[in-house]
Structure 1
Amino acid sequence: MSLLSAQSLACRRGGRLVFHDLGFEVAAGRALLLTGRNGAGKSTLLRVLALLTPAQRGEIAWDGKPVREDAEAWRARLAWLGHADAVKGDLTVRETLEAAQWLCAGGPPSRALWDGVLARFDLVPLLDRPGRYLSAGQHRRVALARVALSAATVWLLDEPAAALDEASRQSLHAAITDHLAAGGIAVIATHGDIVLPGALALDVGAFTPDGTVSLEAWA
């Protein structure tokens, strides 16, 4: 089984040590929920995993091999969702999703996947609407659809339920559950609005200089 692991990670931003001696292991088909108060370092950890922010020390590995040895291969395994939704105001929803597919996958998804994802996030009525006319929740649904269409093995999601109504949150949970069932991995920063049976929970704040390490399984 594929395995994502981190060992002795430390990161400093703006002169502040955000976390240190942080480690975890996540096997295929499992999720890791990053918890902690605002400013604890959840977003920073996701950025470190995505190689967007350098770690001061420590190692990220995929199947035991450091990802820095082949950074492009690692990035090709990732789907990233940050606080910004990457929805361009001048592009329609259809154009946004199609452009993302060509950039990330080199071509369109299967018709079954395309239709399924659009239906799941209720985007069919919005396909020809420019991004500037979307609400915050609609923006988020487009961004989530981009992730679900990516066929990436590892999803890195920063508060993915932000701005979603209850129906859309259920769609998000279903998409993550399907991804895990297919052998994928998800690392998700959350304030408790994502609950996945069997997921690991990592309190990032426990790895601050004053924290106490806590890593537990959520049943």
Structure 2
Amino acid sequence: MDLEIDNLSVSRGGVTVLEGVGFRLRPGAALVLRGPNGIGKTTLLRSIAGLQPATVGEISAPPEAIAYAAHADGLKSMLTVTENLRFWAAVHGGAGVEPALQRMNLASLRDRQAANLSAGQKRRLGLARLLVTGRPVWVLDEPTVSLDAASVTLFGEVIRDHLAAGGSALIATHIDLGIPGAETLDLSPFRARPPEQGGPAGAFDAAFGGDFA
């Protein structure tokens, strides 16, 4: 399934941060988003994933085709690793959890409560959710946060397998995940012109520190 973005504008705090974004992501392909901190990568990805409305433009793929992995791992702390994956598989109508446990090196932790995992283990569990959704389009916002070098390499392999199976991946990351043929889209040309000094954008950035991705 293609993901096609046409003339998309997205806003944060009522202020447009990106405008005129357009690209097509085909099955088997990966696209890496680049740009300085605060440009609006997270806002764009959330809009594409259907979590917040775009201001203008079209998103062709339906939200039910998209699996989104954000900074937060979205885990149920009192459930075990296996129970968390079973929960998400049931929500999305996806596959069994055993392949995901094995693929993300979580099999030895299957009976451990999520609350008792390290930050890196929680991250691997959060990313393992992608494998139980059965969704073809992965939208990933800095997916390697809290991962050590070995886990980054492991996740790069998972993405390559997903692409080889006909899936696609849209990724905001500064890390080289070793994905052959991955294209890069610099969002800097799509940065919206800021409002006048002291207007709504200034108030918003002052209130929230201006450090959103």
TM-score band, normalised by shorter chain: 0.7 to 0.9
* TM-score computed with the length of structure 1 as normaliser: 0.84
Per the alignment, in what secondary structure is the counterpart of residue 46 of structure 1? helix
Does 2:154 match 1:164? no
Q: Does 1:122 align with 2:105?
A: yes
- If the length of structure 2 is used for normalisation, what is the TM-score? 0.86
**Equivalent residue runs for 1:23-34 within 5 Å:** 23-34=22-33
> Shift of residue 16 of structure 1?
2.4
1:12 matched to which residue of 2?
A: 11
- For structure 2, the residue ranges without an aligned partner over 5 or more in a row are 195-213
Does 2:134 correspond to 1:151?
Answer: yes
Work out the CA distance in 2 between the residues paired with 1:96 and 1:186: 23
What residue number does 1:215 align with?
Answer: none
Does 1:83 find its partner at 2:66?
A: no
Match of 2:92 in 1: 104
Q: What are the within-5 Å matches in structure 2 for residues 61-80 of structure 1?
A: 61-62=60-61, 74-80=62-68
Partner residue in 1 for 2:191: 208
Aligned residue for 2:58, secondary structure, equals strand
Q: Does the aligned pair in 1 maintain the 2:92–2:134 contact within 8 Å? A: no
Superposition deviation, residue 194 in structure 1: 2.9
Structure 1 gap segments, 5+ residues each: 63-73, 212-219
Question: Does the 8 A contact of 1:121 with 1:145 survive in 2?
Answer: yes
Where 1:146 maps in the other structure, the secondary structure is helix
1:185 is aligned, of 155, 168, 189, to 168
Residue 191 of structure 1 and its aligned partner are, at CA, apart by 1.5
- Identity, in percent, stands at 44
1:36–1:191 contact (8 Å) kept in structure 2:
no
Cα distance in 2, alignment partners of residues 126 and 178 from structure 1: 23
